[in-house]
Amino acid sequence: MNVLLLVGLVLVAVLVVAALTVWCVTRVRRLDRLHRRVDAARAGLGGALARRVEVTARVADVLDAERATALRTAARTAAATGAPAPDGRDPAGARQARETAENALTRQLAAADPARLGRALSAELADAQQLVILARRVHNDAVRDTLGLRSRRLVRWLHLAGTAPVPVYFEIVDPEPAGSAAGPADVDSDGRRSVR
């Protein structure tokens, strides 16, 4: 009888270890997929931001000299911050500098008079702005999902995320649609939308 009890306990232990192993493997695979999704979303966000800088150069060509200079300066600053690092390991302060530069560019573009741009350029700018909005939302959704799984207790205890960097949200003010009542006055000096 003791032998049967011992065999039963060993069998239960083997089943528990097997179940834990299967659970760990599925979580690791899910984490890997989520980190790849964040990497792809980060690349898409970088492309959308770069496209907006390109369109900004054409917008600056049709504006008056003072407004064009301010717009080109904001675009150069945004371009100089570079795209987000493909692996998510941005140098210290780079993400904050990028967010600040992109917010400054958003404010400058919001101040541009759409009537002076013409229909085609205005539509191209609206498309570029919309692409930035969508890319940022996709990126932040991927970050949210990844952080949600990484925050689970067993995932943390067993270090299932490995050496992958913790993903970070990309927070910029969404450009306002044409004809909106909100404008540059509704944005704080650090580029965040003010609450009223």
* Reported pTM: 0.79
**How many CB atoms lie under 10 A from the CB of residue 69?**
12
The residue that leads in pLDDT, 89 or 154, is 154
pLDDT tens digits for range 95-129: 888 889 999 999 988 888 778 888 899 899 999 99
Task: Name 155's Cβ contacts closer than 8 Å, sequence gap at least 6.
Answer: 27, 31, 149, 161
- Amino acid 79: pLDDT: 86
The answer to whether residue 179 scores a pLDDT higher than 50 is no
